[in-house]
Amino acid sequence: MAEKAGKSKLIIILIAVIVFLVIVGGAAVWWFMMRSTVAPTPAQIAQQQAKQKLQNTKFIDLGSLVTNLQSTDGNTHYIQVQIQLKTYDPSVEASVKSYMPEIRNGILLLLSAQNADTVSQPTVRDQLLQKIKELVNKVLETDGGALAKPTPEKSPPIAAVYFASFVVQ
């Protein structure tokens, strides 16, 4: 009788081990079949990031700005520009609108310091675009000057600045 009880315990343990191994094996097969077997290449990752950037691209119109220019000939000269800001973060538009008076003031001061004779040169225009980009990013990153230093971020809020129109009289 004791021998029969020992055999039945051995059979129960053996069945439990077999059931356990079947469950573990099934879980392993499921794990390897369900997960991706091929890791994305760096080119695929870059392509996906570029696609996401393109989907998030937003242009913000600052409207038309008109101011007088510095003049060496004694005449009054004016500049009228329309500026577009490019961002990859759609939430930046709300910040730009919040700081619009400060941004426009800074740009007007920058434009009015230009010389009427040289402002139409392509290199001067490119420098103006870069200075406007730096000015806008500084305003946005320092909360309108409330913070002493810009907050360290991966990329600035404004990626590029474009002139939609540029007229000098």
Q: What is the pLDDT along the chain (169 residues), one digit of tens a residue?
A: 566 677 788 888 889 889 999 999 888 888 777 765 667 778 877 777 777 777 778 999 999 999 888 888 888 889 899 999 999 888 888 889 999 999 999 999 999 898 888 888 899 899 999 999 999 999 988 876 666 666 566 688 998 999 999 888 8
Say if residues 106 and 140 touch (Cβ distance below 8 Å). Answer: no
Backbone angles phi, psi at 64, to 5 degrees: -90, 135
Q: What whole-number distance in Å separates Cα of residue 107 and Cα of residue 158?
A: 15
Find the helix packing angle between 122-141 and 100-112, rounded to 10°: 150
Question: Nearest Cα to 72, choosing from 107, 116, 103?
Answer: 116
Closest alpha carbon to 62 in 113, 120, 105? 105
What six digits make up the tokens of 168? 């000098």
Name the pTM for this structure: 0.66
Tokens of 162: 């474009």
Q: CA 86, CA 101: separation in Å to the nearest integer?
A: 18
